């Protein structure tokens, strides 16, 4: 289960669909490094999605978004952003950045194997974010994305060097078209410096609203 676990662990948070997207956020509310956390609606301890998938025997193989025969998965490239590669990240990952710095967008897709209920799996979609250092939630949703089970969360957290980051994270669990009906794990993460999130909103919004997950 290492492929899916790696994707979930390295991602921060996932973007939203136009119809179910976050309201116009007040970014200043997530710049603070205060330890005061936003109350959550669940009393259960967060279970990382990778851990949950491992526990139910689901495995996955990373695939390039543009190579899928039964599913369309894509994001647009805003003006000033460009695609880049990283030797430490799987080549099937789509990476975009503005001026080779923040903000960044990361798109990963895994073909999943194993018997599971997507509606149950997606309940853990936002759990990883709540485990980040000093995470402060701004918005979240469990509404479907284009008819597929999905979770979305956005907020701010401290990375390993203490830098405050703002991220939007969306996970979608789509099923490919018949006859195969292959199940997939799709994750989009958009990350910016917290104090620059509002200034970079134009390009970020273009990616959020242009994110496509649809059966062919």
For residue 179, cis peptide bond before it (omega within 30 degrees of 0): yes
Q: Is the pLDDT of residue 202 over 90?
A: yes
What is d(CA 173, CA 185) in angstroms, rounded to the nearest whole number?
5
pLDDT at residue 117 greater than cutoff 80: yes
Predicted confidence band at 192 (pLDDT cuts at 50, 70, 90)?
very high
Predicted pLDDT of residue 22: 35
Residue 70: Cβ-neighbour burial (10 angstroms; 0-12, 13-18, 19+): middle
What integer pLDDT is reported at residue 44 of this predicted model? Answer: 66
Q: Alpha-carbon distance 215 to 183, whole Å?
A: 11
Task: Select the more confidently predicted residue: 20 or 39.
Answer: 39
Burial of 184 (0-12, 13-18, 19+ CB in 10 A): buried
**pTM to 2 decimals?**
0.81
Q: Mean pLDDT, to the nearest integer, of 40-56?
A: 77
What's the mean pLDDT when you consider all of the chain?
83
CA angle 104, 109, 115 (to 5 degrees): 145
Residue 97's pLDDT band (boundaries 50, 70, 90)? Answer: very high
Q: Which two tokens stand for residue 48?
A: 């990382």
Placement of tokens 């701004």 in the chain = 138
Q: For residue 80, what pLDDT band results from cuts at 50, 70 and 90?
A: very high
- Digit-coded pLDDT (tens) for 158-189: 999 999 999 999 999 999 999 999 999 999 99
Quote the pLDDT of residue 8. Answer: 42
Rg (CA), the chain: 16
Residue 58: pLDDT band (50, 70, 90) is: very high
CA 72 to CA 70: how far, in whole Å?
Answer: 7
**162: CB partners within 8 A, 6+ apart:** none
First-to-last CA distance in the chain? 27
Q: Is 50 helix (H, G, I), strand (E, B) or coil?
A: helix
Rounded percentage of the chain residues whose pLDDT exceeds 70:
80
Does 29 score more than 70 pLDDT?
no
Q: What are 130-157's pLDDT values in tens digits?
A: 889 999 999 999 999 999 999 999 999 9
Residues 9 and 33: their CA atoms lie apart, in Å, by 22
Residue-wise pLDDT tens digits, 13-22: 322 222 233 3
- Of 26, 30, 31, 8, the closest CA to residue 169 belongs to 8
């Amino acid at each position: 289960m290492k492929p899916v676990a790696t994707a979930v662990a390295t991602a921060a948070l996932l973007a939203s669909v136009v119809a179910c997207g976050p309201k116009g956020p007040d970014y200043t509310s997530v710049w603070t490094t205060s330890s005061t956390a936003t109350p959550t609606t669940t009393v259960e301890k967060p279970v990382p999605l990778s851990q949950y998938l491992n526990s139910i025997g689901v495995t996955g193989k990373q695939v390039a978004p543009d190579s899928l025969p039964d599913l369309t998965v894509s994001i647009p490239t805003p003006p000033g952003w460009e695609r880049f590669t990283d030797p430490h990240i799987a080549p099937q990952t789509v990476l975009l950045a503005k001026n080779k710095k923040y903000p960044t967008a990361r798109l990963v897709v895994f073909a999943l194997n194993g018997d599971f209920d997507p509606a149950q799996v997606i309940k853990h979609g936002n759990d990883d974010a709540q485990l980040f250092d000093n995470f402060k939630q701004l918005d979240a949703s469990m509404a479907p994305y284009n008819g597929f089970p999905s979770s979305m969360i956005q907020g701010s957290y401290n990375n390993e060097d203490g830098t405050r980051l703002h991220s939007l994270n969306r996970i979608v669990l789509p099923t490919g078209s018949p006859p195969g009906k292959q199940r997939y794990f799709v994750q989009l993460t958009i990350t910016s410096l917290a104090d620059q999130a509002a200034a970079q909103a134009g390009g970020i919004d273009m990616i959020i609203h242009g994110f496509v997950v649809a059966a062919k």
